[in-house]
Structure 1
Amino acid sequence: MDDLVLRAGGPGDAAAVLRLLDDATAWLVAQGRTGQWGTEPASTDPRRIAQADGWAKGDGLWLAEIGDRPVGALVVGTANDYVPPATEPELYVNLLVTDRAYAGAGIGARLLTHAADLGRQRGARLLRVDCYAGDDGALVRWYQRQGFTPTTPFTLTRPAQPPWPGQLLTHPLPPPP
């Protein structure tokens, strides 16, 4: 993926994040895996639209692009309130989504490497992420292949939706060389 470029996101990138989420949701639905993000496009959900706008206006959004096409999005920042606080300085992965047309191309791994680099630059000693742990646990295993260790399982309860099984994972960040 020599033509993959990472760049900081900005206020005009919310639509790109929503498109990536919509495409990923459609792929999950086609696989019969509706527990992670449901069945409806993020671009029609006021909560997800506001979330994407907030990410785009913040300083934690990064986009992976091939040419002018966003093929992945990463959001880093502080931990979600439903996970236990870190016991050491951390950087938290709030979102990682890639274009399914490039599945297997290493875009997600490249974005996580970038997150680790950002964490080290900011003095973090830990990179954490949470993910959907339902169905067959494939997403948890993917993060394990990226060097993360599962720590705390949890279940989110949400109004008018089924419980959401989650897994917190950690990746130690050695200091920069």
Structure 2
Amino acid sequence: MILVPAELADLPRLLKFRTDSAAWLTQLGLDQWAKPFPAEHMAQSVKNGEVFLIKEDLAADAAATVTLDRDADARLWTPEERQEDALYVHKLSVDRRYAGADLGGRILDWCGDQAAKAGARWLRLDAWTTNPRLHAYYRAHGFTHVRTSNDPDVVSGWAAQRPASLDSGHGLALPESLAPN
């Protein structure tokens, strides 16, 4: 699998990841991601170079997406935690065609690798508060629950982190044409 930075032209596909995931989660009885995501917010993340698509090859449709940034939600992370060097995983979505292959785990390992290369101490994320299956998934991938927000406006309030670490075994890479020299 290769990993490529998303472009603004990919915005419809990025939004489709969100709606497809919401439909699948609805079948599981969860309201996660049921509210449409503001396209302009995602577009800004794309412009910032924070959104990535995972593909089998450059011509293939995306198998997954992830946003990796330094955006620490002040409602989830204390001022002291926000001062620590960390990268944050957002909007990780895997197309259902790739379910069961642990592509999400490989993406998390790539994110941890990127965090370590950036000198960050932590790889952090938040998850839908009412999705214990997702919490278990992240725990199985080395994340430790830090806290759950009791703010009624924070639906993705289950905060977790794991140490950033170099990991070349994730099998994801930029194509040679996009790799830095």
Q: TM-score range by the shorter chain?
A: 0.7 to 0.9
Pick from 61, 69, 72 the counterpart of residue 61 of structure 2: 69
Pick from 27, 30, 33 the counterpart of residue 33 of structure 1: 30
Checking the alignment, whether the CA contact within 8 Å between 1:119 and 1:173 is kept in structure 2 is yes
Checking the alignment, whether the CA contact within 8 Å between 2:5 and 2:51 is kept in structure 1 is yes
* 1:34-80 residue CA offsets vs partner (Å, 9 max, x unmatched): 1x222x5x3xxxx5212221222121111111341111111011212
Residue matched to 1:113? 109
Checking the alignment, whether the CA contact within 8 Å between 2:113 and 2:166 is kept in structure 1 is no
Pick from 35, 38, 46 the counterpart of residue 56 of structure 1: 46
> What is the identity percentage for the equivalent residue pairs of Structure 1 and Structure 2?
25
SS at match of 1:109: helix
Q: Which moved more, 1:141-150 or 1:62-71?
A: 62-71
Does 2:164 correspond to 1:173?
yes
Pick from 11, 19, 24 the counterpart of residue 16 of structure 2: 19
Higher relative contact order (Cα pairs below 8 Å, separated by 6+ residues)? 2
- Letter in structure 2 aligned against 1:112: L
Checking the alignment, whether the CA contact within 8 Å between 1:130 and 1:167 is kept in structure 2 is yes
- CA–CA separation in structure 1 for the residues paired with 2:46 and 2:18: 14
Checking the alignment, whether the CA contact within 8 Å between 2:68 and 2:88 is kept in structure 1 is yes
Pick from 99, 102, 106 the counterpart of residue 103 of structure 1: 99
Checking the alignment, whether the CA contact within 8 Å between 1:10 and 1:58 is kept in structure 2 is no
* Superposed displacement of residue 175, structure 1: 6.4
Checking the alignment, whether the CA contact within 8 Å between 1:20 and 1:71 is kept in structure 2 is no
**Over aligned residues, Cα RMSD in angstroms?**
2.1
- Letter in structure 1 aligned against 2:148: P
The alignment of Structure 1 onto Structure 2 pairs a total of residues equal to 162
Checking the alignment, whether the CA contact within 8 Å between 2:112 and 2:167 is kept in structure 1 is no
In structure 2, do the counterparts of structure 1 residues 57 and 128 end up closer, same or farther at CA, with 3 Å as the change threshold? same
Residue matched to 1:150? 145
Checking the alignment, whether the CA contact within 8 Å between 1:155 and 1:164 is kept in structure 2 is no
Pick from 70, 82, 90 the counterpart of residue 75 of structure 2: 82
- Letter in structure 2 aligned against 1:16: R
> Which consecutive aligned stretches of 4+ in structure 1 deviate over 3 angstroms post-superposition?
174-177
- Letter in structure 2 aligned against 1:73: T
Using the size of structure 1 for normalisation, the TM-score is: 0.82
